[in-house]
Amino acid sequence: LGSGKTTLLNRLLAAPGMSDTLVVINEYGDASLDHLLVTHSAEQPVVELPGGCVCCSLRGDLAQTLRDAHWRFARAGRRQFERIVIETTGLADPAPILRTLTQDARIAARYRLRCTLTVVDALHAAGTLATQDEAVRQIAAADHLLISKSDLTDADALGTLRTRLERINPFAPQTDLQATSDGAALMALLDAPPPRPARFLPVMTDAPHAIRADSFAFDRPIAAGQLDAWLAGWPDIAGPGLLRMKALFDVEGHTRPMALHGVQHTLHPPTPLADWPDASRGSTVVFITRGIDAEALREYVARLGLD
């Protein structure tokens, strides 16, 4: 809460490439204000979901908004937008939201999740992480961490925060919003192809929250049937303690890499990327977990049959 999400959103919406964007804003409480602070235009309509957290009581409203958007915001039978940005309350647990986006067939047929961003308030992050479990989950689930208010803290405190963020989620790039001033630069950052997860990252732990990060790398391709069988075993490892899973697979018979994402019980369908993020191929699987036995995790990864 108060990390600067609305300010960031306005900077993004000012970029020419962000025209034709539908913005969905969720606020906590009955008195709504954020939607009034976001730039409106005919090309950038704003939908407000007030009265609670989009991940719980209003999750149904979010699903209905997404189902209806293609006709509700249409002109002459044509959809008005090319992308949707969902700004949640700072109290939101990302897992139920991601589950809504992937497990509702009518939504999954029309939308593809591009990325999950978390804005981190450099001035207040230490206290927030100590008291708000939702903040830890938001950082663990992020594809990219955007640090705000770095100008209000000193270099030592900022360095400590960056180290802490890396321990919670070592796979998410960190960007200082103070050093990225305009919306076009931010949009270019968001449109960049996802980097390959670190293939030989040592085990990382964040002691205060008992969070663990593991990375597994394999050089030979995996058979499509073997990957399907491994995905079918997802319920064996999924649960509240699986804060994030990201993977890039080299699948036999495919020239493009296959990306995979999971959060808690939610597993996103495999998605082919346009190209490999670097010259090397091979498969990489990374996990951010809390309370999941390390041996159980290794046994689950061993089912890939790539050792």
Mean pLDDT of successive 10-residue stretches along the chain, which has 307 residues: 73 78 63 39 49 39 81 74 80 80 83 87 88 87 91 94 92 88 73 56 54 85 92 89 88 91 85 80 87 89 83
Instruction: State the SS3 of 150-216.
Output: HHHCCHHHHHHHHHHHHHHCCCCCEEEHHHCCCHHHHHHHHHCCCCCCCCCCCCEEEHHHCEEEEEE
| In CATH, 204-302 is 3.40.30.10 | no
Give the model's pLDDT for residue 159.
96
Query: pLDDT by residue (tens digit) across 172-225?
Result: 899 999 887 677 777 776 666 655 554 444 455 555 567 888 888 888 899 999
CA separation for the pair 254, 144 (Å, rounded): 27
Give the model's pLDDT for residue 84.
84
Give the model's pLDDT for residue 71.
79
Please provide the CATH number assigned to the domain covering 5-191. Answer: 3.40.50.300
Its pTM surpasses 0.85: no
Q: Where are the chain's structural domains?
A: 5-191, 204-302
Give the model's pLDDT for residue 119.
92
Give the model's pLDDT for residue 37.
37
Query: pLDDT by residue (tens digit) across 256-280?
Result: 999 888 888 888 888 888 888 777 7
Q: Are 47 and 22 in contact (CB under 8 A)?
A: yes
Strand 271-272 versus strand 283-290 pairing type: unpaired
Give the model's pLDDT for residue 195.
56
